[in-house]
Amino acid sequence: MNLKNNNMKNLNTKLENFLEIKEKHERMRSLVDDWAFDYNIEKLKPLLDDGFDGNDLIEYFTVRLIDYIHNKYQQPEQVED
C-alpha cells in the first residue's frame, strides 16, 4: 500500500510541476508573441548550419542572457498610484 501512495504522490508532483510550467509559459507567450521569439531563433540558424547543436545554443544563450541581466538590464520604474 505504501508503494501505491508513493506513486500517487509522485504523479501529483509531476502534474503540479507540469501545470506550473504551463502557466509560466502561457504568461511568457502573452508578453512576447511567438513571431518575435521565432524570428530570433531563426537568427541563430548560422550556428546550427555550422554544426553547433541545440545544447551548444542553450549554453551560449544562457551565458549571454546572464551577462545581459547583470550588466545591461534595467527594471522599469514602478509607477505609484
16 pLDDT tier (thresholds 50, 70, 90): very high
Give domain limits for the chain: 1-31, 32-76
Residue-wise pLDDT tens digits, 17-46: 999 999 999 999 999 999 999 999 999 999
Determine the pLDDT at residue 25: 95
User: For the chain, what is the HEC assignment?
Assistant: CHHHHHHHHHHHHHHHHHHHHHHHHHHHHHHCCHHHHHHHHHCCHHHHHCCCCHHHHHHHHHHHHHHHHHHCCCCCCCCCC
Is the per-residue pLDDT at 1 higher than 70? no
